Amino acid sequence: MKRTELEIRITDASDGILAPEELRQLEADLQAFPDLMADYHAIMKLPDIEPVYPKPNNAVFAARIAEIRNQISENEELSTNSPVFYELSLVWFKRYALAASLMVVALTSVFSLLQPGPEYLDSTVMMDELFYPAEESAADVYVTYLDEFTLD
């Protein structure tokens, strides 16, 4: 028999739901597990802890209960007097704020992943051609242009 099964049966025993025959069987099974047998004896000796917290008299809490009732009444008034504000602030906002923020994040990610537009590509190609010209004539123009400025 597994230890965990024995532990569960020890719990049943301490809950008082095992019949005398089952209790005897449990003790016999525990012979093979001396450490569990020691735990079993220690657990069965535990005092009843139910009376450790006495059941309080309802009158003790009369003031507290009244206070909670007052708070609920105030909330009730708030929700009936200004249903629009209440709906908007407590219901609508809570329901849709997360969805809206997730949508903003998603849209931002989508835009950042988009390819650059044709204007950007054109200007990049023009600059590249200026510095690393594909045609000879274009390089001449560039060199002439530089010469004009340095000679002055």
Partner 1 sequence: MGKPGKNDFDTIIEENYPRLHRSVSAYLAGSSVEPDDILQETFLKAWKNISGFQGGSGIYTWLYSIARNLCIDEFRKRKHEKNISNKPVEEFELAWDQFSGEDNREEILLLRKAISQLPELLRTIVVLKSIDGLTYPEIEEITGVNQQTLKNRMFRARKELADILKNMGVDQS
Whether residue 14 contacts residue 43, with contact meaning beta carbons closer than 8 Å, is answered with: yes
Distances in Å between the Cα of 12 and the Cα atoms of 54, 114, 128 are 25, 64, 82
**Contact residue for partner 1 among 22, 76, 77, 122 (CB under 8 A):** 76
| Residue whose C-alpha is closest to residue 10's, from 35, 34, 50, 44 | 44
Per-residue x/- marks for partner 1, 53-72, CB under 8 A? xxxxxx-xx--xx-xxx-xx
In the bound complex, what is the minimum distance in angstroms from residue 47's beta carbon to partner 1?
A: 7
Rank residues 92 and 120 by Cβ distance to partner 1 and give the closer one.
92
Cβ nearer to partner 1, comparing 28 with 46: 46
Q: How far is the CB of 78 from partner 1 (least distance, A)?
A: 11
Residue 126: CB minimum distance to partner 1, A:
59
- Non-local (6+) Cβ contacts of 43 within 8 A are 10, 14
User: What minimum distance in Å lies between the beta carbon of 41 and partner 1?
Assistant: 9
16 binds partner 1 (CB under 8 A): no
Q: Which amino acid is at 92?
A: W
Amino acid at 19: A
Question: How far apart are CB 1 and partner 1 at their closest, in Å?
Answer: 15
Give 81-145 as a DSSP string.
Answer: H-HHHHIIIIIIHHHHHHHHHHHHHHHHHHHHHSPPPHHHHHHHHHHHHHHS-SSHHHHHHHHHH
Q: Which residues bind partner 1 (CB under 8 A)?
A: 4, 7-8, 10-12, 14-15, 39, 42-43, 45-58, 60-61, 64-65, 67-69, 71-72, 75-76, 90
